[in-house]
Copies of this chain bind each other. A is one copy, B any other.
């Protein structure tokens, strides 16, 4: 392999695309021969981030666009999930476990906490009216073990 492998995926902000998005990213990452647990982690964080774009970023308006980029380099996968929606005013508050701005929608407020726990790095860029971009990094252990 020369250099990094990458993909970029954009789709309508419809909830029926949540499942599609996590399957697509999982299929891409499976090139690294991850364990089932690692694959579940990846699916879960993609689901969290994409759901947030749809619910919070676009307030359930199906006319927004969600963009995912993924890059594989060595044993590391980098994933960004991005919307051009509402943005987040108070990032520190947003990242608190159990904090949600939409309790009426039965949100658990656990999305960011799950991303932080399942990935090695999570970095959020956001500003009100300017959308939100989540960058996540995870090293895939199975491949590493192979090279030891």
Contacts and interface: CB of A to CB of B under 8 A. Distances in A.
A27 B16 contact: no
A39 interface: no
A17 interface: yes
B16 A31 contact: yes
Interface stretch (A4-12, A96-104, A113-121, A131-139): A4-12
B9 A20 contact: no
Interface in A19-64: 19-20, 23-24, 27-28, 30-31, 62-63
A7 B20 contact: yes
A2 interface: yes
A36 to B, nearest CB: 16
Contacts of A23: 23-24, 27
23 contacts: A1-B62, A2-B62, A3-B62, A3-B63, A5-B17, A6-B11, A6-B12, A7-B9, A7-B10, A7-B17, A7-B20, A8-B9, A8-B11, A9-B9, A17-B28, A19-B27, A20-B24, A20-B27, A20-B28, A20-B30, A23-B24, A24-B28, A27-B27
- Give the top 6 A-B pairs by smallest Cβ distance, nearest first: A7-B11, A23-B27, A24-B24, A20-B27, A8-B10, A9-B9
